[in-house]
Amino acid sequence: MEFLPKEVREGLEAARKRDLKKKSRLRVRVDDEVFPVLKSWDNGFALDADRAPKLRGLVDLYDGARHLYQCLIVASEEERGQMRYEFKRSTAAVDRAPLDFAREENAPVGLIAQSS
């Protein structure tokens, strides 16, 4: 691609990023800002380097509107217009508080009180 004019290379790179954004439903949320994830793997993800700051710390990872993980991240490197981030910790998001006891498989769902 080095033989192509600079404007053409930039246009091709912009089209490639646009295509990656359309394919992915994953989003990273930091405070009130949301960034589309271009690529993801087991221990990290990549964002558009032009749009995303060098994030560090606690972020939330979403698939559309569904909260998947709360992650502690660090920026690792920039490669081909993508900023790569690695997970230091990734915790699955849950919609209810964890139990502090073991629930038996055949336990009743609730108790019915007798009225006097």
CATH number for the domain that contains residue 84: 2.40.10.430
Q: 105 in a domain, yes or no?
A: no
pTM of the model: 0.63
pLDDT tens digits along 26-39 = 889 888 888 988 88
More confident residue, 16 or 82: 82
What pLDDT is stored for residue 66 in this prediction? 87
Whether pLDDT at 55 is above 80: yes
Q: How many domains does the chain have?
A: 1
Q: 82 in a domain, yes or no?
A: yes
Q: 97 in a domain, yes or no?
A: no
Q: Which H, E and C letters describe the chain, residue by residue?
A: CCCCCHHHHHHHHHHHHHHHHHHCCEEEEECCEEEEEEEEECCEEEEECCCCCCCEEEEEEEECCEEEEEEEEEEEEEECCEEEEEEEEEEECCCCCCCCCCCCCCCCCCCCCCCC
Q: 30 in a domain, yes or no?
A: yes
What pLDDT is stored for residue 2 in this prediction? 65
More confident residue, 111 or 44: 44
What pLDDT is stored for residue 19 in this prediction? 62
Expressed as residue numbers, the domain containing 27 is 6-92
